[in-house]
Chains A and B, each alone.
Chain A
């Protein structure tokens, strides 16, 4: 359990941090691969749903182009091939689905956990994280057509709140290292 969640935590950190020096020095595919390993390890232990591991495997490959494209410069692709301009959005949505599946796994574990409030905590964070992410991406989709100052302010605020929620997610996932489902004890 500890190994699995350590890998997932590191995977999420690598995906979150986007430092481009010619290429992404913390490549997203490595992050997704770590999550894949972590999730496989986890589902073997609790005999959980395999959806998350399949999706993490797919994302490992799909995210390869993002090594070369800074996440915040999707605009560059608006001029060229039309499918590429949707790439950052699709990648983001798939990541959200993956996180949603990981939440489901964590909920499965916490349902059986000896510490009672962690299940409630996970449910709440899952709901707020999903709603916030959807809001973030909706705003993102509109941002190509509205480049006003007022709109940029909203975008910056939502991005900052989103970042806080990403960190809350990391803390929670990290916390699961210590959670012991009663049935496994």
Chain B
């Protein structure tokens, strides 16, 4: 009996070790982010957040990020210190073998090699250096930073409500009679993930025709996402159109969606990442 017990412990040790090795991440996995940020003339910095999965056993956090030669430094450390010197990991979500972490990064606008009055800054890939000196080159979805384009007072934002994590509703009051000609999502990929309804009718942004709006009408915009969303969305939906007297206008509506991951979606993300690295 004694020897069977010892043998069982050994088998369990080897088995767990093999499982641990096979599920260990080669490198942290960054989720997809679809972000647009509008800046104003006198703005010096803009903050963006990236989410990534790490192994629970090796707690690491982002030291800095480099994009097109611009260094982005974290404004949160990914860890909290208690009074007694004990270190507590601050994570967003915990899974069997992974933590979902968020790093908030400050972008110094003056150091970006872009003339923001003429163009926007878009990037899809970043170089990340972690606290253990591991360097990772990774895709993070798409980030676009540009000057604020909003130039209108045709809509007044009446209310905004969130029904849970996956749906939101914004009510706009029309102040002038206008012809709404285009609703533009900044990224094509997001169209499949972010479902839009205008006045309770579903629309696909790219197929939106035109809509005549009278003064004092209400425009209700609803956005919802699927339950299994794994990307982060923080973008401005642009409403373009013409007014009767004042020409073109653009109105920006910010939509933010964060996924709530579960073990199944984490397993899937880990699997996809491993397949990619092969």
Chain A contacts to B: CB under 8 angstroms = 75, 78-79, 82, 85-86, 89, 93, 96-97, 100, 130-131, 134, 137-138, 141-142, 144-148
State whether B12 touches A142 (Cβ < 8 A): yes
State whether B9 touches A144 (Cβ < 8 A): no
Known: A75-B57, A100-B2. A141 touches B9 (CB 8 A): yes
State whether A144 touches B96 (Cβ < 8 A): no
Known: A78-B57, A79-B58. A145 touches B2 (CB 8 A): no
Q: Identify A89's interface contact among B9, B15, B96, CB under 8 A.
A: B9
Determine if B16 is an interface residue (Cβ-Cβ < 8 Å).
yes
| Residues of A contacting B94 in the complex (Cβ-Cβ under 8 angstroms) | 148
A82 to B94, CA, bound (A): 26
State whether B13 touches A141 (Cβ < 8 A): yes
| Per-position 1/0 for B54-77, Cβ under 8 A of A | 001110000000000000000000
Across the interface, name the chain B residue whose C-beta is closest to A78. Answer: B57
| Residues of A contacting B247 in the complex (Cβ-Cβ under 8 angstroms) | none
State whether A146 touches B96 (Cβ < 8 A): yes
A41 to B20, CA, bound (A): 44
Main secondary structure of the interface of B (DSSP, over half): helix
Across the interface, name the chain A residue whose C-beta is closest to B4. Answer: A134
Across the interface, name the chain A residue whose C-beta is closest to B16. Answer: A141
A97 to B2, CA, bound (A): 9
State whether A145 touches B97 (Cβ < 8 A): yes
Q: Identify B56's interface contact among A85, A134, A147, CB under 8 A.
A: A147
A137 to B20, CA, bound (A): 17
State whether B16 touches A130 (Cβ < 8 A): no
State whether A142 touches B9 (Cβ < 8 A): no
Known: A78-B20, A100-B2, A130-B5. A145 touches B96 (CB 8 A): yes
State whether A93 touches B6 (Cβ < 8 A): yes
| Residues of B contacting A134 in the complex (Cβ-Cβ under 8 angstroms) | 5-6, 8-9
| Residues of A contacting B5 in the complex (Cβ-Cβ under 8 angstroms) | 130-131, 134
State whether B96 touches A148 (Cβ < 8 A): yes
State whether B16 touches A142 (Cβ < 8 A): yes
Known: A78-B57, A134-B6. A141 touches B12 (CB 8 A): yes
State whether B16 touches A145 (Cβ < 8 A): yes
8 tightest A-B CB contacts, nearest first = A134-B5, A141-B13, A141-B12, A147-B56, A137-B9, A141-B16, A144-B20, A89-B13
Selected A-B contacts with CB under 8 Å, 13 pairs: A85-B17, A86-B17, A89-B9, A96-B6, A100-B2, A134-B8, A134-B9, A138-B9, A141-B13, A141-B16, A142-B12, A145-B16, A148-B96
